[in-house]
Structure 1
Amino acid sequence: MANQNFDHMLATKKIEKFFFKGLLTAFLLFSFGLDGYAQTEPTWPEITEENKPWTRWWWQGNAVDKANLSSDLEQLKNVNIGGVEITPIYGVAGYEDQFINYLSSDWMDMLEHTLREGDRLGLGIDMATGTGWPFGGPWTEQEHASKNLRYKILDVEGGQNIQRDLTYMQEPMLGMIGKRFNDPDQKQAEERDLTIKDIKEPVSANENLQSLAISQLRYEKPLELQTVMAYSGDGKIVDLTENVDGDSKLSWQAPQGNWILYALYQGWHGKMVERAAPGGEGLVIDHFSQEALDDYLSKFDQAFEGQDISSLRAFFNDSYEVDDASGEAAWTPKLFEEFKQRRGYDLRNHLPALLDEERDGAESERVRTDFRETISDLLLDRFTRPWQSWAKDNQAVIRNQAHGSPANILDLYASSDIPETEGTDIMRAKMASSAANVTGKPLIAAEAATWLDEHFQATLAETKTAVDRYFISGVNHIVYHGTAYSPDEARWPGWLFYAAVHYQPANPFWDHFEAFNSYVGRVQSFLQSGNADNDVLLYYPIHDRWAEPGRAMLQHFDGGIDEQFEGTAFKEAADLMQEEGYTFDFVSDRQITASESSGEAINTEGGTYKTILVPAVEYMPLGTLENILRLAQGGSTILMYKGLPKKVTGLSNLEKNKKAFKEQLGQLEFTDSGQLQSASLGKGKVLLSDDLSLLLSEGKIHREQMTDQGLEFVRRASKDGHHYFVTNWSEKQVDGWVPLSVEASSAAIFDPMQNGKGYAKMKKGSEGSTRIYLQLEPGESRIVKTFSGETHSTTYNYLAVTGEPKAIEGDWTIEFLEGGPVIPDEITTDNLQSWTKFEGSEYHNFSGTAQYTIEFEVPSHEGAGWQLDLGKVSESASVTVNGEEVGTVIGAPYQLFIPATLIDDSGSSTLTVEVASSMENRIAYMERENIFWKKFYNVNFPARLGENRNESGLFDASEWKPQESGLLGPVQLTPVKSVE
């Protein structure tokens, strides 16, 4: 079933281009059992453009030119970036005459040039479907802009003629981002004192939108009445909409009794495109209206007409983010019509249950759930799916961030060709990877490494920690956040985005970025091959969240479960399985419906699982319960944790559905066996327990016990075995036997950072498991590839210490290579310390790279070589010995193996260590000297941490003290031997 989705994607040219090569390589490399392809040594997969990390490429102000576009792309190619995502954003002050309006003929000329250059350089190209985020622009009229719901509740006494003015005036508001520029020579941006009265209507009529940076606006105007409904104390309902004239005057002869009137209005949410580029400033679209989407995309159709965009891989959506503003977009013109079609009843007859904040109870819970589910359906059916269809018509796919949406994000991700996550939370990332795994999407992307640290302080070591976290969450397509286009003429630090990390050539770690990107590419060459191999489908109880009361009309789901599901059996189950090494994917109601049993296994569209785990839930759709029990009837084992589902969802046909729900549960005749209850059903069974570990054990679900050693992992299945990404998150070295839950004849170990490989020491474990020998320092990672059909003897270079470490001492020559503000003079010292401690301001202020060289001698050694330990390094280093490259280290422990063949034990050898610092000392110098560099519209220039903000709220490093930089040591060599 997984191939059905894949075949759909292969139908387009760019999927053929980017996936076929990788699929062919994976087939050849992992089909070890086929004649003619057996390998005598483990082999790395060939690294494709899609295996390599990509980066978001901000076009600030669209002030791009062909020469600098080519230069940027070449620099990215040179550091092993595989592709870029073009996202135009706000401009740079002083370059206004170079701004290019989005989707203009000039802009399309720049896009076509970029696509041609991508083809020349072997780089993939994606583009955002708009500027900044979310979708919107100057061509989005009020008719198709995001909308909110406003209402009045009126008490009236019956038995009289009611005359009421129902006019609802929208309150004006103006939200603006950042400070305003008048002139690029300003050293400080000025505060704004504008009001909505200063903004012309429509907003597109204003000429200075880049400078204004409007985030949200609402003009004072009467709102359009949608309906007026009257509800009596004895249950009567009267539709009064036709009783309201064109001047919003209600006339009604009210029957006897007490009545409550609900008047609903369509309001204007007013959300503007955030961080918009020139020509992209405007209102955000109504995401619940396909008419609004179609109108929005028609602008792209016009721009693309007659243009060659055939090599564009994907269109991108940078999450929902409509409601991170005042109020929420909870309305669309066809809502009543859509609601009745989808939920089976007229919402207007139940407005008190939906809108009365003081009202609670079963009806309110059900109506609230139905309303929120309808909004979820609209975001799927009127936005995500039509957008994907439009992209397909343009021979492209979609890369979509579904988190933050008022919807079941599992379904939104599942309808995306490349689901994409962001942040640092594992469960959040697993929402995207789960949807991809369950529905057979080959790529799971991540907007990677945003705000890891303060500006100019983030390191490659921090990036590796973040990227490894994505890998164990199931992500296999890293997209850095990111790289700003910056012309060669731009003074250091060049053009920058407002959120770190700055993956720019101006960053000193750029010299070592290539090595790190090789690491990412090697890991992803494995994680993009084969199929996810998770055992448990964990039911996502979104209806319980939809039923919860609150002042907000909608519930927004960012993918995390810590706050939204705190105290639930669902969160307990997810956390325990993650901590204990059980493999699982989240699954939605829709995805359960599409699943089938094949004996004990559960087959989804994209994979095979051993069970569904249903945590105690209050609400479950009748169809979901029926399908879960149908799977049991077919032979599957279903696990119920802490109770059975209690109530059927929905208000329509409630009594009939309650009865059917009860009948479904009535099939389960449990027998009690201590803490576990079991009910046979057809060919399968349902197990119930409050003890999750017992429940999983009885369901024959085995965990990966390596988590007991502080190791984290992700597991995938290949044609002749499995492959694991394993990383050591503990503070201790792992040097010993590590259990794998899968059976294998042999296994290979790959070191993706240093490019090492070999067959592992291995022995059989219990119950079909395997044990392999691993050596992992804290923070290190390996790929483990198991084989079920072939046996290989150990070839991996395991090392054991054979003597005491020897310090490398003497005179170090330090040559400063690149950086600034000036290149310091070469220096010789026998005392390794931060270069900021050398005498002279040029050392204190310097950020960049320096080369450390020393001649050294070592005694004769019969072993395999030496373990080089650089001690403390700020921040990354590459090492050569006697002119031969040894490797690059980006974080502690800064250790590398040096083969004995590289060191002359009969004389002196030369050790060269090139160290890259952070950017912070140089930027602090510029701040103290008032050298103007913060010249960006819209967001100029925020700090992550409060202590780094000045009185105007901008980033300010002028108080920073010189930070440690360079090789601090001590540098030592320890003799090691290969372990038999």
Structure 2
Amino acid sequence: MIKRLICTISLSAALMNAGAQIKWPAVNSVTKPWARWWWPGSAVTTKSLTANMQQYAQVGLGGLEITPIYGVAGYEQEFIDYLSPQWMQVFSYTLAEAKRLNLQIDMATGSGWPFGGGPLIGDAEACKNFVYKTWTIKEGESIKEPIAFEQQPYLDAIGNTIADKKELYPTVGTVGTTTLAMLKESEHVTDVSKLAEPVYANKNLQALAIDQLKYKKDLPLQVVMAYSDNGKAIELTSQVDAKGNLYWIAPAGNWTVYALFMGWHGKMVERAAPGAEGNAIDHFSEPALQKYLSRFDTAFVGADLSQLRGFFNDSYEVDDARGQSNFTPGFFDEFKRRRGYDLKQFLPQLLQKERDETSLRVLYDYRQTIADLLLEKFTMPWHQWAQTKGKIVRNQSHGSPANILDCYGVVDIPETEGNELLRFKFAVSASHILNKPLASAEAATWLNEHFKSNLGDVKKAVDKYFLGGVNHVVYHGICYSPINDPWPGWMFYAAVHFQPIHPFWRDFGTLNNYVTRCQSFLQSGKPDNDILLYFPFSDHNSEPGRDLLHHYDGMKGFENTDFNKVAEDMLAKGYAFDLISDNQLQKVYATANGLQTPGGAYRTIVLANTKYLPLPTLQKLADLAKSGATILVYNNFPTSVPGYGQLAEKQQQFNNITAALKFAGEGAIQKATSGKGAFIKGNDINELLKAANVYPEPMYGLGLQCIRRSISGGNYYFITNDTKEAVREWVPLNSKATSAILFDPMLDENGIAKTRVKNNKLEVYVQLEPGESCVLQTSNTTLTGKPYTYYTVAGKGTEIKGNWRLFFMMGGPDLPKPTTVSKLGSWTEIPEQLGKVFSGTAQYSIQFAKPTVAAPAYVLDLGGVAWSAEVILNGKSLGTLLGPIYKVNVPASLLKADNELLVRVTNGMTNRIIDMDKEGAPWKKFYNINFPAHEKENRGANGLFSAAKWQPETSGLLGPVTIAPLK
């Protein structure tokens, strides 16, 4: 499947360059944006599935990722157990409808998160941790008490969120007798002893919404070790009987005895759908994974999965509960095989609170073993399982205690989330370096408070993903909702709410067309970055922490490091770089022009004040330098190998390599020649990069940002203006080119760009308003075709004044009556009370005379708009504007002596939600978390989100509306 995807994208790029010189790349279901599609309670029907999917296809979505979650109160009789025969029937129906509608489908390999868990996962497969006890004894003494550890009960349940709010459901008929029975049963469950074991034997799991659960039980002993004060260690495990009695008398010396037990971390599948509740799996155990996946194997028998593109895994999210999942059966054997020594001999060093060098090295080895297991026993086998079904996998590796670059590197589509460019770099870099055509993003997860995000906000977020290298946007997201459910229907608690009932759905297609056009470029060609920035995983894994394991997610944990400083500096100045791991570095080789990875060419490698460097990494860097590569070292050269295993031997080999490097030079730059290449060291990253003939994109100095991809005979640039000022500048490019084409992906316009050569660099004239973006295609040959039309304002604008007819077209709760306004402003200020609560679309219309100043075109500026606006002049739509600037160019040929201007403005859900919350309308009707606020000040008395205290949100055409001549 992935090969077909790669071929399709490569073919699109080839056709782009072989055909007409000015041509948009071909689009398909992958170039279109996708969306995560929640199925609450899996309570879906064929009728509503079809209706929902038709609406999604009509607005330009290319695919959906199905993720079943908790249910909706009052629909219990329609819940469908996850992966049951009935569930597979509706899933198969969905796949068939997707094929008919040209939608592709991914499915989460599970329900809610974390990946893996449910009724098939018993104690053997559930996530584990370890606990320990110690005893101090002297010569001739023994331990009198049993060597035992009783796990204490613990319950963390999100539940009761509906039970606490039963005032919203005053009658049995509102939620149904089944719901009330479940609520009554779960309302006061805080005592673990009242819960059946195993957890999935309880009948009210949707109401309980358990996040973490530990039963009271004796934990299995793993090892008993005795350590003397003179450094001797003795294993005593075999001398403990079934009752926990230790038959051992301490020999000469003072002894500390450690007993380590395996416990159950207790993490449950969070936000689980009916039939998917239960223990989360042990992510460090392949048998646990295979047991979990066997449930899918059974469910899929006889099913036609041809329309299913692949499987998805949300971020790790096991250790967001109390404690860490940090152990697995057989861990000591895995550790010894991988690290070369017996961890049981070093339990005091692993567990001591005050860290010394030996302790930190042992801790590093422990963490590295956990990282290896997560990669090799979970991520890779899951991918291999999907391949046996002919499917790809999309994976969010962040948040895990592994080297996330490596975890991203072994899947088909690495996926990121959030709003930080450096966070995006981890998923995207793996995609770039390892020749993966797509890097995806869980996009616009929770931009603002509920109902406060508009399509302009989403565009801004998406543009940032594009700058970060993402080229496959997956909105977060859309919630399935029955077609006859009262407004606002079913919604997910953490989202922008891309729902067909949302007023902005009317203009959603405009955003989706923009995303599609951008992604058609960004999925073509190859990444074109210059720098490989080494990821110092060993440095952080060698540092102490509050807990045994570190978790990796963007720059968390690296905030005060030179690695972060250098990355931020390069990002701000416009250097094109990717991050690279130790394992990925082994795939790099030197060429006459620099460095080659499976995914593309680079100029240099940067080490940012790295302290610990695995021996194979240093050996690889030395080999690359001898073959002609330039390795840049910011501040200090690495001084040590990490870890404790074979330390003396590895460190000696390390020292032999570093001793051979003779740095020389005066000033800030020192150079050590090595074969055909060199190591260059200094404390100014810009000077270091200059020494390697690596330069940033000059447009960053003008306030623009970009990402660059290489194509046959040139480049693609995606460029944005994220400043508050318009940019109308000659923009120099840091790539060889002779000519260029400009594409406006929002307005679907293009043409040969105005260019000039200055200081041996091609400069392109670019005009971008704040928030605007464009795509630039450069060519090493002269391109021909229609020129791109540039306009500048040629005179003072004239305000379009008079009486505006205001007609409310669609929305609710009811349509205000048509009215006339002489001064533009928020429609919440009209005399009719309905204006304050209306959410929907209203049309403003006015007649105006043709401007007296003759011009080839005019700019129509709407001034302020809340939120989006379609502009129609004399019956012709000029486009839909999403903001933050609401301007559109008008050809002079479209103007008449007397003109009719229609502006159809759409606001958000906010004002109608405010009204519902003030009235106490029961729309917050979900199990589990049931609609929390994003900001604490928006919590109601019952703890849930409430807009009851909000003032009506400004809505409509705010103006002033002006028209000005252009030249």
TM range (shorter): over 0.9
1:860 deviates by 4.5
* Pick aligned residue for 1:552 from 524, 547, 555: 547
Matched with 1:271 is 267
Amino acid at match of 2:800: I
Partner Cα separation in structure 2 for residue 29 and residue 970 of structure 1: 42
Q: In the alignment, residue 919 of structure 1 is paired with which amino acid?
A: M
Q: Say if 1:93 and 1:183, in contact at 8 Å, map to a contact too.
A: no
Partner of 2:871: 879
Is 1:838 aligned to 2:830, yes or no? yes
Which residue in 2 is equivalent to 1:676?
669
- What residue is the counterpart of 1:500 in the other structure? 495
Name the counterpart of 1:262.
Answer: 258
Alignment partners' CA distance in 1, 2:231 and 2:31: 63
**Aligned to 2:222, which of 211, 226, 231?**
226
Alignment of 1:344-383 (within 5 A): 344-358=340-354, 360-383=355-378
Which residue is 1:930 aligned to?
920
Q: What is the match of residue 649 of structure 2?
A: 656
**1:824-856 deviation line (CA, Å, top 9, x unaligned):** 111122211111101122111111111111111
Q: Name the SS of the counterpart of 1:367 in structure 2.
A: helix
8 A Cα contact 1:140 1:285, kept in partner: yes
Given the alignment, which residue of 122, 126, 138 partners 1:145?
126
1:13 corresponds to: none
Q: Is the 8 A contact 1:633 1:683 kept in 2?
A: yes
Show the 5 A alignment for 1:883-898: 883-898=875-890
Cα–Cα, structure 1 residues 221 and 305, in superposed 2: closer, same or farther, change >3 Å? same
- Measured in 2, the distance between the counterparts of 1:252 and 1:837 equals 85
Among candidates 41, 45, 55, match of residue 25 of structure 2: 45
1:62 aligns with 2:42: yes
Q: Which amino acid aligns with 1:807?
A: E
Q: Helix, strand or coil for the counterpart of 1:461?
A: helix
Compute the displacement of 1:793 (Å).
7.0
**Runs of 4+ off more than 6 Å:** 188-191
Which stretches in structure 2 are left out of the alignment for 5+ residues? 170-182
Query: Pick from 89, 112, 127: which aligns with 2:107?
Result: 127
SS in 2 for 1:647: coil
Amino acid at match of 2:660: Q
| Deviation (angstroms), 1:242 | 0.6
Contact 1:761 1:794 in 2 (8 A): no
Q: Which residue of 1 aligns with 2:179?
A: none
Identity %: 48
Partner of 1:857: 849
Cα distance in structure 1, aligned partners of 2:228 and 2:688 = 51
Residue 4 of structure 1 aligns with which residue?
A: none
Residue number among 764, 767, 771 corresponding to 2:763 in the alignment: 771
Q: Which residue of the partner structure matches residue 411 of structure 2?
A: 416
Contact 2:438 2:523 in 1 (8 A): yes
- Pair 1:24 & 2:20 matched: no
Q: Which amino acid aligns with 1:878?
A: E
Post-superposition Cα deviations, 1:425-484, rounded to whole Å, max 9, x if no partner, equal 111111100011011110000000011111111111111111111111100000000000
How far apart are residue 199 of structure 1 and its match? 1.1
| Secondary structure, counterpart of 1:249 in structure 2 | coil
Residues 968, 550 of structure 1: CA spacing in aligned structure 2 closer, same or farther, 3 A cutoff?
Answer: same
Match of 2:861 in 1: 869
1:439 aligned onto 2:434:
yes
| 2:616 counterpart residue number | 623
Matches within 5 A, 1:304-703: 304-358=300-354, 360-559=355-554, 561=555, 563-703=556-696
Distance in 1 of aligned mates of 2:243 and 2:598 = 55
CA contact under 8 A between 2:531 and 2:577: conserved in structure 1? yes
Q: Which residue of 1 aligns with 2:172?
A: none
Give yes or no for contact 1:94–1:184 (8 Å, CA) kept in 2.
Answer: no
- Aligned partner of 1:948 among 935, 938, 947: 938
Task: Within 5 Å, give how 1:807-818 maps onto structure 2.
Answer: 807-818=799-810
1:756-835 equivalent positions in 2, closer than 5 A: 756-767=749-760, 769-792=761-784, 795-835=787-827
Partner of 1:169: 150
TM-score normalized by structure 1?
0.96
Aligned to 2:277: 281
- Give structure 1 stretches of 5+ with no counterpart: 1-7, 11-15, 32-36
Deviations 1:644-680 (A, max 9, x none): 1011112121111111000111121111131110111
Shift in Å at residue 38 of structure 1?
A: 4.7
Instruction: Give the deviation of 1:183 after TM superposition.
Output: 11
For residue 144 of structure 1, give the secondary structure of its aligned residue in structure 2.
Answer: coil
Partner of 2:200: 204
For 1:438 and 1:858, how far apart are their aligned partners in 2? 56
Could you tell me how far apart the structure 1 residues matched to 2:167 and 2:920 are? 11
Q: Deviations over 1:504-526 (max 9, x none)?
A: 01111111100011000110000
Q: Which moved more, 1:859-868 or 1:412-421?
A: 859-868
Measured in 2, the distance between the counterparts of 1:291 and 1:352 equals 30
Give the 3-state SS of the residue equivalent to 1:469 in structure 2.
helix
Q: Which residue of 72, 79, 98 corresponds with 2:78?
A: 98
SS at match of 1:918: coil
Give the conservation status (yes or no) of the 8 Å contact 2:595–2:601: yes
Distance 1:609 1:182 in 2: 58
Q: How many residues align?
A: 951
- 1-structure distance, mates of 2:142, 2:841: 84
Q: Deviations over 1:539-575 (max 9, x none)?
A: 000111111112301000112x1x4112222111101
Aligned equivalents of 1:853 and 1:334: distance in 2? 74
**In the TM superposition, what is the alpha-carbon distance from 1:163 to its structure 2 partner?**
3.2
Please tell me the residue identity of whatever aligns with 1:615: A
How far apart, CA to CA, are the structure 2 residues paired with 1:486 and 1:185? 22
Q: Name the counterpart of 2:174.
A: none
The root-mean-square deviation of aligned C-alpha atoms, in Å, is: 1.4
Distance 2:280 2:55 in 1: 34
Q: Is the 8 A contact 1:148 1:268 kept in 2?
A: yes
Could you say what secondary structure the match of 2:77 adopts? helix
CA deviation vs aligned residue, 1:7-40 (integer Å, no higher than 9, x gap): x821xxxxx3x55444322211124xxxxx352x
User: Does residue 1:294 correspond to 2:281, yes or no?
Assistant: no
1:171 and 1:734 map into 2 onto residues whose CA distance is 63
Could you say if the C-alpha distance between residues 20 and 185 of structure 1 is closer, same or farther in structure 2, counting changes exceeding 3 Å? farther
> Normalising to structure 2: TM-score of the pair?
0.97
> Following the alignment from structure 1 to structure 2, what is the Cα–Cα distance between the partners of residues 939 and 975?
54
Aligned to 1:247: 243
CA distance in 1, matches of 2:141, 2:147: 18
What is the match of residue 187 of structure 1?
A: 168
1:911 aligns with 2:892: no
CA distance in 1 between counterparts of 2:464 and 2:572 reads 14
Q: Which amino acid aligns with 1:801?
A: V
Aligned equivalents of 2:690, 2:840: Cα separation in 1: 55
1:3 is matched with none
Match of 1:155 among 136, 152, 175: 136
Distance 2:159 2:697 in 1: 49
Instruction: Tell me, yes or no, if the aligned pair for 1:751 and 1:781 is still in contact at 8 Å.
Output: yes
Q: Distance in 1 between matches of 2:117 and 2:841?
A: 43
**How far is 1:861 from its partner?**
4.5
Asked if the contact 1:159/1:257 (under 8 Å) is kept, the reply is no
Does residue 1:967 correspond to 2:957, yes or no?
yes
